[in-house]
């Protein structure tokens, strides 16, 4: 057994941050375990390559949820990163913090230190923002962020004008003074290359003698002496190994794998653990509960003007895009296809936006949904899509082990559309998307709504269509939440697992509620703050 100070399980969006910050002290020994392999593939580094890694088991856990009663008992596809960088290596690279109210709600749930004014410095700390340092942004941080407003498809500006006609204000910066309205996304892309957590944090630290990274290492159990976490057991190269942590074990497996590892280690609901003969170390009924996610549906439109379909559909278009990227790292391959969107309040009386709108100047209505969807094969005609989801869904599901075998996929039960509020947002989201499409600027360039089409107009039909076609946008959160109530929260406000010592969970599973938008940025922020909490508790200097 090898000794370290800290063992980090999972080299994803959060784990890479911790590996960098904790190993900055040369006297601290850090082991980082990752079940997947290298992130050096061009399909990861080239931004639009996420259309391939979306369904590539070399980089993706390729999970499938349980049949969901709220979605006509369909079993949804749940991709999760299984590679250095985790899901930050296979996501769509949209950089959105969320609404300030999201984090004020975290603090109100019994988590002092997590309000918007208290987390903003950590967002700024991680950023290398193209607009430089300001009240809202940081410069010189590890995560390169790009403003692609000069490179987006022209149809994105048509979308913005349509929103403006409806009274939806334009915002230059979703991460600044005006996080509400319609605008263009900032992205974690730098010089035409994806900026994953692995590239931003792990690569600069990889030469440190006190940081050891082991890939293809699947953690199978947290080791305990009584109720103190002392190390990790893991599989690598076909053999079981153990490593000891003198200070702490830090679980960063994400919202699906972190609760799985806790349960395999005896932390969870005794009823569930008992089904598989797992000895209870700590009675924690909230492990695996509280699962939240953003559930979206796309409306597809045929366009009278060229879209990205015209550039990326034909073979010659693909070849031209590849050559442009190869020579100067620009063009459609250097960008995400998610280029514009909005955060909107769909009715009066709301304290914060309830709908997240995505505008994509490409369409994929003829490709298959789920794990067989081909994002690099757009429709063979000019088209675009708009999607919507509830910013803060109130439905909650769960994820639990289905056996004592650590190599068995967990049981993911999303429990979608379980509340009247979430159903109401389906109606309002569909109405809003159609209003934007019907506004003068977009109406002038739109031939027709191809899917779901004008046959789907009544509330009953809109809901039925949503149940038939909606799917996750991969923002799973909340399954090891921090909070004050041990019945609903696994962690305290310092991300320490209740009932034991020497153990924290640091990833999106710790979110008390899912943020209003993409979750990569808030996950890295959480890990930056966690590094300071860990160092404070050890008596060390903040990173």
Contact (Cβ atoms closer than 8 angstroms) between residue 531 and residue 410: no
484 Cβ contact list (under 8 Å, min separation 6): 109, 110, 111
Separation of alpha carbons 287 and 488, rounded Å: 8
Tokens 């404070």 found at: 536
Beta bridge partners of 289: 398
Q: Which of 181, 256, 151, 222 is nearest to 9 (CA)?
A: 222
Question: Which pLDDT does position 543 carry in this prediction?
Answer: 47
Strands 503-505 and 239-251 come out as parallel
* Active-site residue, 475 included: yes
Q: SS3 of 384, please?
A: strand
Question: Which pLDDT does position 539 carry in this prediction?
Answer: 79
Phi, then psi, of 340 in degrees rounded to 5: -140, 165
The H-or-E segment that residue 22 falls in is helix 15-23
- What residues in the chain have per-residue pLDDT under 50? 368, 543
Neighbour tally for 441: CB within 10 Å: 18
CATH number for the domain whose boundaries are 149-184+295-390+417-469: 3.30.410.40
Q: SS3 of 413, please?
A: strand
Region class of 500: left (phi > 0), else alpha (psi between -120 and 50), else beta: beta
Q: Which of 366, 363, 360, 377 is nearest to 317 (CA)?
A: 377
Question: Which pLDDT does position 88 carry in this prediction?
Answer: 96
Buried b / exposed e over 139-166, threshold 16 CB at 10 Å, is: eebbbbbbebeeebbebbebbbebbebe
Contact (Cβ atoms closer than 8 angstroms) between residue 84 and residue 198: yes
Omega before 452 within 30 of 0, i.e. cis: yes
Q: Where are the domains of the chain?
A: 1-119+194-293+481-543, 149-184+295-390+417-469
Strands 239-251 and 2-9 come out as parallel
Q: Quote the pTM value.
A: 0.96
Q: Which of the 8 DSSP states describes residue 280?
A: P
Phi, then psi, of 57 in degrees rounded to 5: -65, -10
Question: Which pLDDT does position 449 carry in this prediction?
Answer: 96
Separation of alpha carbons 179 and 127, rounded Å: 17
Phi, then psi, of 484 in degrees rounded to 5: -90, -25
**Dihedral sign, CA of 206, 212, 213, 214?**
positive
Question: Which pLDDT does position 375 carry in this prediction?
Answer: 59
Q: What is the pLDDT of residues 226-266, one digit of tens each?
A: 999 999 999 999 999 999 999 999 999 999 999 999 999 99
Separation of alpha carbons 50 and 88, rounded Å: 10
Neighbour tally for 169: CB within 10 Å: 13
Phi, then psi, of 187 in degrees rounded to 5: -135, 155
**Dihedral sign, CA of 154, 156, 157, 162?**
positive
Q: SS3 of 105, please?
A: helix
CATH class of 1-119+194-293+481-543: alpha beta
Question: Which pLDDT does position 290 carry in this prediction?
Answer: 97
Q: Pseudo-torsion of CA 298, 304, 307, 311, nearest 10°?
A: 130
Cα 197–chain centre separation: 12
Active-site residue (options: 137, 294, 400, 475): 475
Q: Which of the 8 DSSP states describes residue 198?
A: I
Q: SS3 of 309, please?
A: helix
Q: Where are the alpha helices (DSSP H) in 217-329?
A: 254-264, 270-275, 308-312, 315-328
């Amino acid at each position: 057994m090898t000794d370290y100070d800290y063992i980090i399980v999972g080299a994803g969006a959060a784990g890479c941050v911790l590996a960098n910050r904790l190993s900055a002290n040369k006297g601290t020994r850090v082991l980082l375990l990752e079940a997947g392999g290298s992130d050096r593939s061009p399909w990861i580094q080239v931004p639009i390559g996420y259309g391939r890694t979306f369904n590539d088991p070399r980089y993706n856990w390729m999970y499938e949820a349980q049949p969901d009663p709220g979605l006509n008992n369909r079993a949804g596809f749940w991709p999760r990163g299984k590679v250095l960088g985790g899901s930050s290596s296979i996501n769509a690279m949209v950089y959105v913090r969320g609404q300030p109210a999201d984090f004020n709600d975290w603090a109100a749930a019994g988590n002092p230190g997590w309000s918007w004014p208290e987390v903003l410095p950590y967002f700024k700390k991680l950023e290398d923002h193209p607009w430089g340092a300001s009240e809202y942004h940081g410069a010189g941080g590890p995560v390169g962020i790009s403003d692609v407003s000069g490179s987006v498809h022209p149809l994105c500006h048509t979308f913005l004008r349509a929103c403006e006609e409806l009274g939806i204000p334009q915002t230059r910066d979703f991460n600044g003074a005006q996080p509400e309205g319609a605008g263009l996304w900032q992205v974690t892309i730098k010089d035409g290359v994806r900026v994953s957590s692995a590239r931003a944090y792990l690569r600069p630290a990889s030469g440190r003698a006190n940081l050891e990274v082991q890939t293809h290492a699947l953690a199978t159990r947290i080791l305990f002496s009584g109720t103190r976490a002392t190390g990790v057991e893991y599989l690598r190269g076909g053999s079981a190994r153990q490593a000891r942590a003198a200070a702490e074990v830090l679980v960063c497996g994400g919202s699906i794998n972190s609760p799985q590892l806790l349960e395999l280690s005896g932390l969870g609901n005794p009823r569930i653990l008992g089904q598989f003969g797992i000895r209870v170390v700590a009675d924690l009924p909230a492990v695996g509960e509280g699962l939240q996610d953003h559930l979206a549906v796309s409306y597809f439109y045929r366009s009278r003007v060229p879209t990205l379909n015209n550039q990326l559909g034909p073979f010659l278009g693909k070849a031209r895009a590849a050559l442009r990227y190869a020579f100067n790292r620009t063009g459609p391959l250097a960008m995400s296809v998610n280029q514009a969107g909005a955060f909107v309040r769909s009715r009066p009386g709301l304290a914060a936006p309830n709908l997240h709108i995505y505008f994509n100047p490409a369409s994929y209505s003829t490709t298959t949904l789920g794990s067989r969807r081909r994002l690099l094969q757009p429709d063979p005609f000019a088209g675009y899509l708009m999607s919507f989801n509830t910013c803060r869904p109130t439905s909650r599901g769960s994820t639990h082990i289905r056996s004592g075998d650590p190599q068995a996929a967990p049981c993911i039960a999303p429990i979608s559309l379980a509340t009247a509020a979430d159903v109401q947002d389906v109606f309002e989201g569909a109405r809003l998307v159609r209003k934007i499409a019907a506004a003068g600027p977009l109406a002038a360039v739109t031939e027709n709504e191809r899917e779901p089409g004008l046959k789907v107009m009544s509330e009953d039909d809109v809901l039925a269509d949503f149940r038939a076609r909606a799917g996750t946008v991969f923002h799973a959160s909340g399954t090891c939440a921090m909070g004050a109530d041990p019945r609903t929260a696994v962690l305290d406000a310092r991300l320490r697992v209740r009932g034991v010592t020497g153990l924290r969970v640091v990833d999106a599973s710790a979110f008390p509620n899912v943020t209003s938008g993409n979750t990569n940025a808030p996950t890295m922020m959480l890990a930056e703050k966690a590094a300071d909490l860990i160092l404070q508790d050890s008596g060390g200097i903040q990173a």
